[in-house]
Amino acid sequence: MTFEEIYRQEWGQVVATLIRVTGDWELAEEAAQEAFAAALERWPRDGVPDKPGAWLTTTARNRAIDWLRREAVGTAKLQEVAVMTHEPDAPYDVPDDRLRLMFTCCHPALAMEARVALTLRTLAGLSTAEIARAFLVPETTMSKRLTRAKQKIQHAGIPYRVPPSHLLPERTPAVLAVLYLLFNEGYSDIVRNSLSAEAIRLTRLLVQLMPDEPEAAGLLALMLLHDARRETRLTPDGELITLEDQDRTRWDGELIAEGEALLDATLRRGAPGPYQVQAAIAACHATARTAADTDWPQIAALYGQLKQTPVIALNRAVAIGMADGPGVGLRLVDDLSAGPLTGYHLLPATRADFLRRLGRWSEAASAYREAIELAGTDAERRFLQRRLSEVSVRA
């Protein structure tokens, strides 16, 4: 295992333990950084310890104690040092600290952007600069967001603990929503695909820590089934490839098999939630040998089981159109045109695709032009421009 792999695996545990022991987020992170720096200096010379996580946690704890001793100016600080010095080390295999930290970072009292940033910083170990680059904001802006979030946790008295069982149903969705947003941020942009890897890693951790939570397993299955297609979504020069045109022989069969097995085991519990339903939709795509083999009626039925948000309604219209014909799909899309999806680039893009399939070339060209104006990434704009060129020749 490389040092970077150890860092990604152990950072969250070390920081979580230090936050529990010290109650100080900044001190915990600084002590953890010093511990990893010490490891980077010593391990190449002395060898990696049998239990690197335990070594890092002990080293970080000692650094925190040293800092508190230097800064102790009153009884309270001295008592804090005494508690840390005499507190017996907890068994390192107990993962509760990470679970506490995950629920603290994703507390519903925090804004969604703050939840995501804190999760990346404290559990994934990304630097402030890395997080800022991922979300396309200046490092100073991201630093302020992290500071405000930590201050809110402290001043609002947000508890550093897993909520009691009667609160878990209302708190767990906040954690899952952060992880799903994190995955999508990376999946939608090739430059930020490391975010998707971190989301999968953290969701695996959540499933490990909460094995009886079916929606956590459903979310992990959804991520794996999507991630299996990652390498086929773009050409080597960055051009977008639609699901219909992707080379299915290059999909990651191991990820698909893992996602399917996880989904099947979760669905057998008989408590399907939205992430499990979305994973079932992803499985329909991932297991179709060709685009023509896709079970569109089943996909449409599954979309019908989800809360009908505007985006879900659009996706359901696509599935129905693929099952019953582009004319039916176009009518459903047109019914959505005057609603909250106005300005959403996939609405005119979907309409253009149905018009293209119907051979209504001039109308398709007009819809593609509208979609190009609204598209959010260069890859999407280039793809839509290619489609526009194809239909314009026939118009």
Please give the average per-residue pLDDT across 379-383, as a whole number. Answer: 92
- Give how far Cα 371 sits from Cα of 12, 228, 261, 353, Å: 41, 28, 38, 11
Query: Encoding tokens for residue 214?
Result: 């079916």
pLDDT at 354 over 60: yes
Please give the average per-residue pLDDT across 156-185, as a whole number. Answer: 82
Please give the average per-residue pLDDT across 363-378, as a whole number. Answer: 94
Query: Encoding tokens for residue 33?
Result: 């950084």
pLDDT band at 10, cuts 50/70/90?
confident
> For residues 265 and 213, what is the distance between their CA atoms, to the nearest angstrom?
12
Best CATH choice for the domain 295-394 from the list 1.10.10.410, 3.40.50.150, 1.10.10.10, 1.25.40.10: 1.25.40.10
**The pLDDT value given to residue 26:** 86
Whether the CB-CB separation of 313 and 299 falls below 8 Å is answered with no
- Nearest residue to 124 via CA among 16, 24, 49: 16
pLDDT at 196 over 70: yes
Looking at the structure, give the CATH architecture of the domain made up of residues 1-92: Orthogonal Bundle (1.10)
> For residues 108 and 357, what is the distance between their CA atoms, to the nearest angstrom?
44
Q: Which residues have a Cβ under 8 Å from the Cβ of 158 and sit 6 or more positions away?
A: 104, 107, 109, 152
pLDDT at 81 over 60: no
Query: Encoding tokens for residue 187?
Result: 């999946």
pLDDT at 225 over 70: yes
Whether the CB-CB separation of 273 and 218 falls below 8 Å is answered with yes
pLDDT band at 348, cuts 50/70/90?
very high
Q: 226 or 76: whose pLDDT is higher? A: 226
Quick one: residue 107, left, alpha or beta (phi over 0 = left, psi -120 to 50 = alpha)? Answer: beta
Query: Encoding tokens for residue 89?
Result: 């080390």
Q: What angle do CA 16, 18, 22 make, to 5 degrees?
A: 125
Q: Which residues have a Cβ under 8 Å from the Cβ of 246 and sit 6 or more positions away?
A: 229, 232, 233
- The residue type found at 155 is H
Per the prediction, the chain carries an average pLDDT of 87
Whole-structure pTM value:
0.79
- Model confidence pLDDT, tens digit, residues 17-73: 888 888 888 888 899 999 999 999 999 998 999 899 899 999 999 888 888 887 765
Query: Encoding tokens for residue 292?
Result: 């023509």
Q: What angle do CA 342, 184, 236 make, to 5 degrees?
A: 100
**The pLDDT value given to residue 91:** 45
**The pLDDT value given to residue 263:** 97
**The pLDDT value given to residue 72:** 62
pLDDT at 245 over 80: yes
With tokens 């953290």, the residue in question is: 202
**The pLDDT value given to residue 375:** 92
pLDDT at 90 over 60: no
C-alpha 47 chain-centroid distance: 34
> For residues 154 and 157, what is the distance between their CA atoms, to the nearest angstrom?
5
% of the chain at pLDDT higher than 70 = 91
> For residues 111 and 310, what is the distance between their CA atoms, to the nearest angstrom?
23
- Give how far Cα 241 sits from Cα of 156, 238, 296, 307, 379, Å: 47, 9, 20, 29, 9
pLDDT at 94 over 80: no
Q: Which residues have a Cβ under 8 Å from the Cβ of 118 and sit 6 or more positions away?
A: 105, 106, 110, 146, 149, 150
pLDDT band at 93, cuts 50/70/90?
very low
Q: Where are the domains of the chain?
A: 1-92, 295-394
> For residues 222 and 244, what is the distance between their CA atoms, to the nearest angstrom?
19
> For residues 331 and 143, what is the distance between their CA atoms, to the nearest angstrom?
47
Please give the average per-residue pLDDT across 148-153, as a whole number. Answer: 90
**The pLDDT value given to residue 96:** 66
Query: Encoding tokens for residue 72?
Result: 């102790």
- Nearest residue to 375 via CA among 390, 362, 388: 388
